[in-house]
Each structure stands twice: as C-alpha cells, then as structure tokens.
Structure 1
C-alpha cells in the first residue's frame, strides 16, 4: 500500500540504528556486479558475516531463483530467502528506510535509487524497496528524491548526519537546491537538524557516504574516523569534518562528544585503492558486527575493537573479514538494512 502523504505529518520518524530490530535484510551477490577478486572469497566472507548477524537476529536474504541453492550451501538455515532479481548487494542503499510511530507501527520509505549517480545498472535494485515492503505487507511512502541509506545516519532524536559531497552531488538531484533537499529529507525522516560534513573518504565510489566517516553511538555522541598522516589524502578531509563536529550542536542543542578511531592503513588490491573504514560496522540486537582488515592493519584492528568495547560495554563486538567485502566498494553496513521491531502501520 502506498501512502499519499508525508511521514512526519503522520507522526513517523526514522529510528536510530540501535532501536531493536525485527530482522536484517541483505541481498546475495551476483556475478554481474563484477566484484574485484575471486567470487569464492567474496562469498565466503559474505556468508560468514551473514551467519554472525544471524546469531543475534533473523536475516532475510534477497536472492535470484537460480542462486537459491548457492545461498543454502553457503548460509544453511541462517537465512530466510526472499526470491527476487537483484543487480547488486547493497541493501543499505537500495532497500527501504524504515520509519516508526509512537504506536509501535512501522512503514517504509522508497527512495529513488540511481546507483550512486548512474555508475552501474540499477533497474532491478530500484525495485528492491517496494518488493521488500510488499513482501512484509508494510505500507510505503514514495519519496521524490534520489537517496541512499548509506548517505545518512540519525540519532533517533531529530538529528541527521550526512555529507555535502554526496547529497549535494549533481549526479543525484541536479534539479533541487540544498534547501529543497534539506526540506524533503526533514519531512520524510522527521528530522529537525541536519549536520553537514564536507566530504567522505578519498576514493569512495559512493561519492562520500557518511557511513564510512561518522556515526552516532547514542544521542549527543559521535564516532568519527580520523587520519593522522598529514601526507594522506584523507588527512585534511578528516580535519575539516572534525572542525564542523566540534563547532555544531544537535537538534536538542547538545554539544557533541566526539570519539575518534584511527583510519586503517591504505590497501591496494589489483590496482584498486580500497576504501577501508571501521565505521562501516553494523548494529545488531545486543552486538556490533565490525569489519577488520588484517595484515598491516592488525594492530589498528585490535585498537578499533578495544575502542568499540569501551563505547558499547553492553554489546558484543564480533569481527568479520572486511577486506574481501571492501573490494566491492563498501562493507557490512552497506550490505545490510535493519527492519525495526513493530507492526505494519494501519493507515
């Protein structure tokens, strides 16, 4: 069912990612997406991440009919399969963004998905969000704006983080001014304040998604990835973002507590500069699924794990091999979409 109205006007808002999940939605990799490197390595790392998420909550796997046996072979009983033709696996970006109201009801926002500015085929992926919402009989709002879930992060109390590099990129909504983009984001997510960082990570194929550089740990507290090497391309980017975060407040007027995590050392795979981030972790019920990268980054991996243990003492930090996943241009946060606990809205 399509709701011909604005979510905020009906009392819906986007909850924080730590709001209790009903399930996680993912999509099985397809060869057409041409992930760099042996597909076998990709599927092994991907299925290991799936099984670890399934330790905490149910997982729905979007998969083509001809790949269902492969999903069963790799994931066993860890997933429920939703049969659908997909172009790629980034459900954070092409899946629905769920919103909730005070009655415990959920609905979904169907953004326009254009594959990060028209970089890849996306005809099927632009239909993923409506298909998921129909599958679970959840009402949907069709938002008149190109948007990806990885470009936004919220605190659940009216504040949203994003980057100018992505949301204001002319390959998304060239017909909309910054003011109009802000207005639509606020109305569809029930946001009162947007904190605009300048840029995401160097070489990020998504044009600077926020989920690689900063996220809320809880209202008023932001974790950000920093680069301490003045000669690295991300040094000035991270300094600019820190300056913005230190000089702004959230929707409730709070000055942010900022927690810094040092960026992994650069890794090049087959001539491709990989966009590595510890911030591309995924909240699950009672835990955190954290990508780590090994090799020269082993010491930094340990430091990131210990930092997140300090920040989230009540959550179990579970590490996964993030290196093969990063070859595709993202990581576990990009590959997942949380459905909050609730009942489908009756409107």
Structure 2
C-alpha cells in the first residue's frame, strides 16, 4: 500500500454509487457498554442479522477488537470473514475508506479522511477516537489498495452520497458544523469533495434527520436509487419538527439538476412513528464521562433511508412500525431487479445508528473486490 500525494480526480478516479457492483462489504463489531445496552449483546445479535442478510448477496468481513474475536467468531456464521482490528466503536461507513475506481483500468484506491468522532472536542460523541481514525488505512493495507490520506480534512462516509456520475449530495448541517472543518469555507469544502470523489457537482441540503447526533448525516435522510433518482425521508405530520426539514429538502432536490443536467426524481420515503428510548433501554447503558448518554424519552433518529444496496439485494432497517411495510413495498417497486430484505434495527438505532457498512466497489465489467456499513443514523 502506498500513500499517494495527488488526488483521485487528477488521477482519473471516481467514487461509484452504492448501487454499483461490490466486491464485498466491511462491518465493525459493536462492544462498548457506554453506547450499547446490556453489555452490547442485543446489538451483537442485530449485527449478526445484518451480516447474514448482506452475505446472501456479497462477501462480508467483520472487524473485531482482540478481546471480542472469539465471541464474534462464535456468533457469526462461517461464511462471514472475521478480522482482528482495533476500533473505538462500530461505525464502518463513517470511519472506513471511501473507495474510488478508475473506469479505464478497473483499479481501486481508498480515500482516508480524518475522523474525529463526529465533532472532536466541540461536539464529538466519544473520546478517544484514534483507533477509528486508523481503520481506513488498515483496510486499504489488507486489501492491497493505495490510499489518499487527508490529515486535515474531517469527513465521515455517512455524510456524503454520490450517483457515480459526478453528483454528490450532502448537508450543510454536517459539513459546515464547527466540529468538522471550521477553518474552511463552504466553497473550499465543496472543492475538496469534488477533488477526492471525482465529482463535478455538489447538491447541498440544509439539514438531516431531526435530532441526528451526527449533525445531520445525509445517509439518514436521502439516498440515490440510481443516477437522477433519489429517496427522501418524509412525514406528512406538520406538527413533527421533521416535516419542515423534509419539506425544505424536497424543495431543494426538485429544483436541482445533477452533474449530467438531469432533473431529479424524488420518492417520498415515509418515516416510522417517533421512536423513544425506554427506561429499560436507558438503564442498560453504562454512564461514562465523554460519551453521549442514552436518556429515557429521548427521540431516536429512525429512518429507512439508511439502507444498504447490495449486489442483488436491498437491506432495509425495520422498527416494528406500520411504515415498515410501506418502506418494503416502495423499495420493491424502486429495485425490481433486487431482493428486498428487512432487518429489525432498533438495537442498532439505540447505539446512534442504522445499517452501517462500507463497500469496496468495482465496475461490473471488471473481476471483483469489496466494501460496507449498515443500519442507523451514524
């Protein structure tokens, strides 16, 4: 693995859309008891369910801290690869590399952004985060992929979505937050995104899901189904604070053009009813200085938009809510060529997220490699 001094755009690389072919998927095993209730055991079972669901469509690799290796290997099926790797928590989409591809050669490289736990010492969610910041480099090394490292530009994978054809969607709430890159202007941040994602246009939404502790990651409110077509988290309840946020996003998206000059088709993806932390769930989490507490009655950032598009399937978070069936029906309509699979995600949501994985991607015409992140707001 080499650390490159140029940029993906200069070298002719681009970030593919999540709907393009994957060589595989990477995840991280949950364990910290100040984030996951009851010793993280319920969350571990949920992550096993996610890994099994994705494995039906593509290879899955689970990264596990040393002291959890034997437990994870026992709980996971044999067809999931388990790799020992030090991490601070379980949010692979945010800490793993952004894979970029060269369409001419099929070569894949990784972009290794700086990570500071969603806001560093200003409004980050835990400290320290140094092990998480090394994950992208380690994955690139294991996969034998050269990387671009940005020591002074903070970005999480869940804060961006691309269509693979030059368009990026993100939120001002996140990328312009004081805990990310406060010394850079909006224009400078946009130029960095274009340069390292091989993109031509950035569409800026104002805000993400209401009370999303990641400062409004775009992956929990909007995603590309395919170029020119997106889903948007939605509610018709005008008394819900989410209504104004989603309405604002809808107006932006329906009046925008993508990098190819197309008007976007926007599908409304109805949210579940507000999900609140119960007393039992709150009491199951250890209280530790420097970590965001889980308080009874707090509203969770539940959404179906943070789903995972696998090679032949779509894996969607479920919440035992009437909107679950609506989401499954919509995705079956939007992805007729893929199998739609629901995975119960409340335990993952309680940790601050939805389906979190990264994919290592490659064009369909080229032989395979890999990526992953799944379930929730982070």
Same-fold status (TM-score > 0.5): yes
- Map 1:138-177 onto structure 2 (within 5 A): 138-143=145-150, 144-177=152-185
In structure 2, the residue matched to 1:132 is 139
Is the CA contact 1:32–1:87 (under 8 Å) kept in the aligned structure 2?
A: no
Alpha-carbon distance in structure 1 between the residues aligned to 2:209 and 2:220: 7
Name the CA distance, whole Å, in 1 between partners of 2:181 and 2:205: 18
Q: Shift in Å at residue 137 of structure 1?
A: 1.1
Match of 1:278 among 284, 304, 318: 304
1:287 aligns with 2:308: no
What is the CA–CA distance in structure 1 between the aligned matches of 2:189 and 2:37, rounded to whole Å? 34
- Which of 333, 336, 341 is the aligned partner of 2:357? 336
How many angstroms apart in 2 are the aligned matches of 1:197 and 1:135? 35
Q: Give 1:319's match in structure 2, choosing from 342, 347, 353.
A: 342
SS in structure 2 of the partner of residue 181 of structure 1: helix
Residues 15-41 of structure 1: per-residue CA shift (max 9 Å, x gap): 011111111011111225522456221
> Does structure 2 conserve the Cα–Cα contact (< 8 Å) formed by 1:92 and 1:336?
yes
For the Cα contact (< 8 Å) 2:33–2:39, is it kept in 1?
no
Q: Tell me if the contact between 1:5 and 1:141 (Cα under 8 Å) persists in the aligned partners.
A: yes
Residue 118 of structure 2: SS of its match in structure 1? Answer: helix
- Residue by residue over 1:242-283, the C-alpha shift from the partner in whole angstroms, topping out at 9 and shown as x without a partner, is 110111110111111111111110011131311101011001
Question: Aligned equivalents of 2:334 and 2:141: distance in 1?
Answer: 37
Tell me, in whole angstroms, the C-alpha distance in 2 between the residues paired with 1:67 and 1:129.
20
Cross-structure match for 2:65: 64
User: What is the distance in 2 between the residues matched to 1:136 and 1:225?
Assistant: 34
Partner in structure 1 of residue 116 of structure 2? 114
Supply the distance in 2 between the matched residues of 1:76 and 1:247 (Cα, whole angstroms): 46
| In the alignment, structure 1 residue 23 sits paired with structure 2 residue 24 | yes
* Separation (CA, whole Å) in 2 of partners of 1:283 and 1:343: 17
Gaps of 5+ in 2: 279-295, 370-378
Equivalent pair of 1:104/1:343 in contact (CA under 8 Å): no
Deviations 1:145-166 (A, max 9, x none): 1000000000000001100000
For the aligned residues, what is the CA RMSD?
1.3
Farther off after superposition, 34-43 or 60-69: 34-43
Q: Match of 1:8?
A: 9
Distance 1:36 1:4 in 2: 42
Which moves more between the two structures, 64-73 or 257-266? Answer: 64-73
Kindly state the Cα deviation for residue 76 of structure 1 after the two structures are TM-superposed. Answer: 2.4
How far apart in 2 are the matches of 1:148 and 1:286?
Answer: 26
Unaligned runs of 5+ in 1: none
CA distance in 1, matches of 2:267, 2:335: 12
Q: Is residue 206 of structure 1 aligned with residue 207 of structure 2?
A: no
The alignment partner of 2:352 has SS state of coil
- 8 Å Cα contact 2:221/2:233 also seen in 1: yes
Shift of 1:173: 0.3
Q: How far apart, CA to CA, are the structure 2 residues paired with 1:81 and 1:75?
A: 8
Distance (whole Å) between structure 1 residues aligned to residue 177 and residue 51 of structure 2: 32
For the residues of structure 2 that align with 1:265 and 1:101, how far apart are their CA atoms? 42
Aligned to 1:310: 333
Equivalent position of 1:238 in the other structure: 246
TM-score normalized with structure 2 length: 0.87
Within the candidate set 268, 271, 279, 1:263 is matched to 271
1:216 and 2:216 correspond:
no
Contact 2:230 2:264 (C-alpha < 8 Å) held by counterparts: yes
Q: How many residues align?
A: 339
1:48 aligns with 2:49: yes
- Hey, what's the Cα distance between the residues in 2 that align with 1:18 and 1:280? 13
